[in-house]
Structure 1
Amino acid sequence: MSGARVIVGLSGGVDSSVAALLLKRQGESLAGLFMQNWDDGEDGTGECRAEDERRDALRIAGLLGIPFHSRNFAAEYWRDVFKHFLDEYRAGRTPNPDVLCNREIKFKTFLDEARALGAEAIATGHYARVERRDGRWCLLRGVDTGKDQSYFLHQLGQEQLAATLFPVGHLPKAEVRRLAAEAGLPTAAKKDSTGICFIGERDFREFLGRYLPARAGEIRDPRGVVVGEHAGCWYYTLGQREGLHIGGVRGRPAAPWFVVGKDVAANVLVVDQGGDSPYLFSNRLASEPAHWVAGSPPARRFECTAKTRYRQDDQACTVEVDADGSLSVAFASPQRAVTPGQSVVLYRDDECLGGAVIATTDAPLERKTAPP
């Protein structure tokens, strides 16, 4: 038992450091916990990075004078996040492991561990906010629109939000760094982490190839003409330009090629020239059963805005909730590279309503029709 009311997830970065700093200044009964969620037995780099981050987290806890705990959740991460990640890529979809990691690890496994230590709540350095409105907990966007992470948190529900604090959600990133520097925290100027949740920055194709070996096949244009060869359909995603290695094609302009479709069963990658190829655009999508932050949808049919990828501007849409809980989403304007496996996340003003995994769209190659 830690004796702390709140346990903050200390990742070794500046955001969680300042989250702990602010709670400490508020007089909160606090402890820190570092989560190691990835083991890399092949080259050891995963453990090395985790140990570096753990040391930084321990330094922060020491400077703030709070108890420190460390836990290894790698087995849970593999079982509940990474296996699904590989299955989705194997099926030709493009998953978002950060969404699943938040739901299964940071706000389930970590929350359970915090409660086992006697805490009532957890805190993280996410750029989001929690507010009580009309008798329910609401997930709100972070004030810094460039850092808002509500997209990745849309699978949280009432139980998790009731026990969660986001101390930096009301601050711009520049202010977070200023507070860290002012307090003499060693993470003040530390570079933000990027890449897949807990896997980090590395050559993605090389990494994925450890689990999904290369399987060469044809690259074709939408008319079926072979224009190159790929290393494996699962290494590519809709709208991708880099890594295609298509040279000059006789009779075609010297314009860049983009992935516009995948046929994993036939091991064929479909490409077209131009970032505005009509094969990249869709007007509607259908989803898997949705998750609602409030526990239920606002209505069976309603208008709101949506994002189909992180950092996308809000897109006006009409949502219909089907009998099985899945969604039919119609956009007010055509959307580029809406990708099955990714998440459609719904908003009303500053509130995140929830979201769902994208199943299909009405893009031309999914409908097997020519674009208009």
Structure 2
Amino acid sequence: MKIPRVVVGMSGGVDSSVSAFLLKKRGFDVIGLHMVNWDAQEEGTSQCPRSKDESDAKSVCDRLKIPFYTVNFVKQYWNDVFLRFLENYKMGRTTVPDIDCNRSIKFDIFHKIAQEKFGADFIATGHYATTSFGDFQQNRNDSQEIRLYSCADPLKDQTFFLCTVSQEQLKRAIFPLGSLQKTEVKRIAEKEGFHAVATKPESMGICFVGKRKRFAEFLDEYIEPKPGKIVLSNGKTVGNHKGVHHFTIGKRINGQYLEERSHLGYFVSRIDAENGDVVACEGSHHPDLYATRFRIQSPDWIPIRNPLEELPDSEILCRIQRTHPPVPCTVEKCETSRFLSVIPRIPLRATAPGQMCVFYTTKNECLGGGEIVEIQDTLV
């Protein structure tokens, strides 16, 4: 009987390293494949540690005595993820590049390369998630659809970033860490001698920004400045800026942009990219920062059937940020089938166009997500 071959996406971090170890321990034929998604020449002084990641990934594979290869997706990442990211910020929209990367790179072209060039039966990553087929596909049933579920560690769950992955892609995927806590993963890494990756700082934020302290500086290298005003909802001007890409809904406005101060602070409540205005409100808990209704694009559903037609409202939750818990919501059809309106039972702070609204069930199943296109109502 043929031993199933698994290609593991080796990032050079602790999660993918332990994933590779667990797969080999279970008897799979394991190959390590490292993705290069960002051109080192674009790094400037940001010092994104590509060569270190590649070296660490190879070191782990050597220790596990499994083959190691590198694949270059710089062009695809630039076209499918980074350019979209820039276009959104030019329009004052807050996007989540990790979701685009999973959809276009890690679960699409990476899967194709793994299958076509390396003969993979399955493709594994270090994502914290699990499926109805089990952490190692042990419950696989080709006649059934696959379902995506939150992992055992609620603080590390990454199903939010997997919300647009398809049935076909999930059926090829293995998530070895789905039943583990992060502390267990680090303990395994130390025990197996993966000291370099076990003590490595966790990657946070957007990978291509690297260690640069100010996100705005990075954006300025790619987006041409377009001056505009900072105004209150009554039209009063309280400051000026050099581009809407410097601002995100819900964030405090830096004093350098302001001509007038408030002891409560000014926070971004809306961005009008067309005329260049950044609309501000006073205080971090101003009612205008809390969305009570917003419109989303018709979601990419993971289940085969539309869950809104299969489940009662009482079982559907939504979240707009990975670190926020899902909240109960009502979903209504719009005048066109291309959009839906979401009414969270608890008003959601800092809801922004470009963000993803991801749906869950009360049983921790991730149903899919749709991009937020418009804030329809707030507490004001």
* 2:26 counterpart residue number: 26
Which amino acid in structure 1 is aligned with residue 28 of structure 2? E
Instruction: Report deviation, 1:106.
Output: 0.4
- TM-score normalised per structure 2: 0.90
Q: Answer yes or no: is the 8 Å Cα contact 2:253–2:265 preserved in 1.
A: no
Is 1:166 the counterpart of 2:175 in the alignment? yes
* 2:254 counterpart residue number: 243
Q: Answer yes or no: is the 8 Å Cα contact 1:343–1:357 preserved in 2.
A: yes
- Counterpart CA distance in 2 for 1:330 and 1:302 is 15
Q: Answer yes or no: is the 8 Å Cα contact 1:283–1:331 preserved in 2.
A: yes
> Greater CA deviation, 3-12 or 100-109?
3-12
Task: Determine helix, strand or coil for the equivalent of 1:155.
Answer: coil
- Counterpart CA distance in 1 for 2:47 and 2:121 is 30
Instruction: Report deviation, 1:299.
Output: 3.1
* 1:368 counterpart residue number: none
* 1:367 counterpart residue number: none
Equivalent in 321, 327, 337 of residue 324 of structure 1: 337
Which amino acid in structure 2 is aligned with residue 170 of structure 1? S
Equivalent in 136, 144, 150 of residue 141 of structure 1: 150
Task: Determine helix, strand or coil for the equivalent of 1:136.
Answer: coil
Task: Determine helix, strand or coil for the equivalent of 1:126.
Answer: coil
- Counterpart CA distance in 1 for 2:108 and 2:182 is 26
- Counterpart CA distance in 1 for 2:376 and 2:289 is 10
CA shift in 2, pair 1:219/1:242, >3 Å: closer
- TM-score normalised per structure 1: 0.92
Q: Answer yes or no: is the 8 Å Cα contact 2:209–2:218 preserved in 1.
A: no
Equivalent in 202, 205, 213 of residue 195 of structure 1: 205
Residues 239-259 of structure 1, C-alpha deviation per residue, up to 9 Å, x if partnerless?
01153535573xx75122111
* 1:345 counterpart residue number: 358
**How many matched pairs?**
362
Runs (4+) of structure 1 exceeding 4 A deviation are 42-48
Aligned-residue CA RMSD (Å): 2.1
Q: Answer yes or no: is the 8 Å Cα contact 2:48–2:211 preserved in 1.
A: no
Identity across the alignment (%): 39
Unaligned runs of 5+ in 1: 365-370
Equivalent in 191, 209, 213 of residue 220 of structure 2: 209
Instruction: Report deviation, 1:41.
Output: 2.4
* 1:362 counterpart residue number: 376
- Counterpart CA distance in 1 for 2:253 and 2:123 is 40
Task: Determine helix, strand or coil for the equivalent of 1:34.
Answer: strand
CA shift in 2, pair 1:235/1:278, >3 Å: same
Unaligned runs of 5+ in 2: 134-140
Residues 276-318 of structure 1, C-alpha deviation per residue, up to 9 Å, x if partnerless?
1111122111111210011331234842111011211111101
Which amino acid in structure 1 is aligned with residue 353 of structure 2? P
CA shift in 2, pair 1:344/1:209, >3 Å: same
CA shift in 2, pair 1:124/1:324, >3 Å: same
Instruction: Report deviation, 1:80.
Output: 1.0
> Greater CA deviation, 298-307 or 278-287?
298-307
